[in-house]
């Protein structure tokens, strides 16, 4: 698309992320219309060249591509519903956080109203928006994504189409966030143990970083292969042996007066996997419990 013929974009929702999206579209030369329930949130963007829409209907009428980034899916549907028939024949790119079920239900809702729909999950913080490193997952009709992919790259150079299922972006989103939070929590559990003996986290940090680099990260591809195949070789460290070590972590946490809930959770799942016959398998067999916790 020529620089002087950029696709018009409407951005609905001007919180920190929505404002960052609008600024990125403006920076790449896209005529950008903005709307927010609190009109003053558009002031800075208007000073940069955005057009302020006074109503949602005006915002929806400014162009076919509508990017929505609001509190939740219900708020998104309420906003779009307020326009009556204005939303028909529009392309909605919903970058609102939610669950896969939310996304799929909203895709069906949009289709019933004559809208084309892409669901997206932003895996970046506002200062990253507009950079090549910013990642946004998209799901929905491939032809809709391909038609607008160049425009969408204005906000995330790492935009990635996952397929026609509108629920996949949210699924990837919550999976990656879960990985982040559990990893951080594991680190804080470790440093809480050290703090019980007044060992500073900074003293422990070099060893934690080396452990991540040389022990934890290299095992991720191995575990991915195991969960996909359903085979969990022990690699000379059986789950039965590791459950004993995890029990030591539970005991140490209790003895040191540290919250033991996290290691207790892990120990319970390891023991459950062992009861299912995985004592001689590797640690990856815990996946079977996480995947299907009620199986016998």
Q: Is residue 175 pLDDT above 60, yes or no? A: yes
Are residues 30 and 159 located together in one domain of the fold?
A: yes
Cα 93 to Cα 80: distance, rounded to the nearest angstrom: 12
The mean of the pLDDT values for the chain is: 96
Is residue 161 included in any domain, yes or no?
yes
87 — pLDDT class (breaks 50, 70, 90): confident
As for how many domains the chain has, the answer is 2
Mean pLDDT of 174-178: 97
Last residue of a domain, one of 165, 186, 219: 165
Mean pLDDT of 91-105: 97
Please list, residue by residue across 147-171, b when 16 or more beta carbons sit within 10 angstroms of its beta carbon and e when fewer do. bbeebbbbbbeebebbeeebbbbbb
Q: What is the pLDDT of residues 14-63, one digit of tens each?
A: 999 999 999 999 999 999 999 999 999 999 999 999 999 999 999 999 99
Are residues 119 and 34 located together in one domain of the fold?
A: yes
Q: What is the pLDDT of residues 188-238, one digit of tens each?
A: 999 999 999 999 999 999 999 999 999 999 999 999 999 999 999 998 899
Mean pLDDT of 91-98: 96
Structure tokens at 133: 């490193």
Instruction: Please give the share of the chain, as a percent, with pLDDT higher than 90.
Output: 94
pTM, two decimals, is 0.93
Domain, as residue range, for 81: 3-165
Find the farthest-apart pair of alpha carbons in the chain and give their distance in angstroms, rounded.
Answer: 68
Mean pLDDT of 259-286: 98
Q: Is residue 2 pLDDT above 50, yes or no? A: no
pLDDT value of residue 83 = 83
Distances from the Cα of 247 to the Cαs of 91, 195, 253, in angstroms?
Answer: 54, 20, 10
pLDDT value of residue 1 = 43
Mean pLDDT of 88-106: 96
Q: Is residue 4 pLDDT above 70, yes or no? A: no
84 Cβ contact partners less than 8 Å away, ≥ 6 residues apart: 57
Are residues 13 and 142 located together in one domain of the fold?
A: yes
Q: Is residue 71 pLDDT above 90, yes or no? A: yes
| CATH code of the domain in which 38 resides | 3.40.50.720
Are residues 62 and 129 located together in one domain of the fold?
A: yes
Are residues 133 and 236 located together in one domain of the fold?
A: no
| CATH code of the domain in which 250 resides | 1.10.1040.10
């Amino acid at each position: 698309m020529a620089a002087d013929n950029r696709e018009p974009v409407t951005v609905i929702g001007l919180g920190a992320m929505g404002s960052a999206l609008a600024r990125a579209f403006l920076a790449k030369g896209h005529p950008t219309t903005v709307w927010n329930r609190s009109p003053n949130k558009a002031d800075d963007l208007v000073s940069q060249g955005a057009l302020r829409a006074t109503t949602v209907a005006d915002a929806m009428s400014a162009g076919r591509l509508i990017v929505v980034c609001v509190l939740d899916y219900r708020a998104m549907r309420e906003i779009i519903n307020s326009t009556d028939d204005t939303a028909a024949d529009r392309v909605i790119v919903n970058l609102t956080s939610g669950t896969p079920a939310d996304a799929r239900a909203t895709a069906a809702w949009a289709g019933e109203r004559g809208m084309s729909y892409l669901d997206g999950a932003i895996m970046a913080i506002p200062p990253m928006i507009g950079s090549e490193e910013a990642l946004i997952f998209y799901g929905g009709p491939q032809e809709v994504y391909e038609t607008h992919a160049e425009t969408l790259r204005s906000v995330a150079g790492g935009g990635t189409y996952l397929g026609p299922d509108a629920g996949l972006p949210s699924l990837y989103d919550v999976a990656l966030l879960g990985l982040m939070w559990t990893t951080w929590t594991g680190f804080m559990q470790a440093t809480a143990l050290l703090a019980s003996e007044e060992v500073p986290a900074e003293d422990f940090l070099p060893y934690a970083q080396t452990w991540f680099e040389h022990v934890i990260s290299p095992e991720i591809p191995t575990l991915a292969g195991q969960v996909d195949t359903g085979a969990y070789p022990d690699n000379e460290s059986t789950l039965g042996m590791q459950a004993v070590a995890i029990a030591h972590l539970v005991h140490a946490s209790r003895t040191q007066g540290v919250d033991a809930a996290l290691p207790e959770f892990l120990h319970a799942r390891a023991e459950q996997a062992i009861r299912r016959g995985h004592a001689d398998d590797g640690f990856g067999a815990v996946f079977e419990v996480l995947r299907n916790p009620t199986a016998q």
